Amino acid sequence: MSKAANIYQYKNGQTLAGHTVDFNESFGDEGWWDTSMKNVDKPVNNSVDKEAAEKVISVLGSLWMASADKKVQDAAHYAANALRDAAGIPRP
């Protein structure tokens, strides 16, 4: 199986409720549509200074890089994106 795969299809030709089906396992980003929120306009909070937000985002990036804990990385990523949204900084 390719490391780039989004869907792994297995047990082809199974019968379920009288219909032939293939079993699939999904790994994210499957399909033709981008369902992430990255392309949606976010409200801007003008009280968040853009320059200060960029400094904090940089610190969160360092935390993400320094941590081996996936939960800490996810939290740092979430916080950085929330701060980007509040300051009107586009997401990467």
The whole-number pLDDT of residue 21 equals 87
Identify whether residues 63 and 88 lie together within a single domain.
yes
Residue 85, domain extent: 44-92
Residue written as token pair 């297995």: 10
Long-range contacts, stretch 48-53, CB < 8 angstroms, 24+ apart = 48/83, 48/86, 48/87, 49/87, 50/87, 50/88, 50/89, 53/83, 53/84, 53/86, 53/87, 53/89
Identify whether residues 19 and 60 lie together within a single domain.
no
The whole-number pLDDT of residue 43 equals 60
The whole-number pLDDT of residue 10 equals 81
Rounded to two decimals, what is the model's pTM?
A: 0.51
Identify whether residues 81 and 56 lie together within a single domain.
yes
Give a yes or no: residue 34 inside a domain.
no
pLDDT along the chain (92 residues), means of 10: 72 85 74 57 69 93 92 92 88 84
The whole-number pLDDT of residue 78 equals 92
Give a yes or no: residue 86 inside a domain.
yes
- Token code pair at residue 52: 């200060």
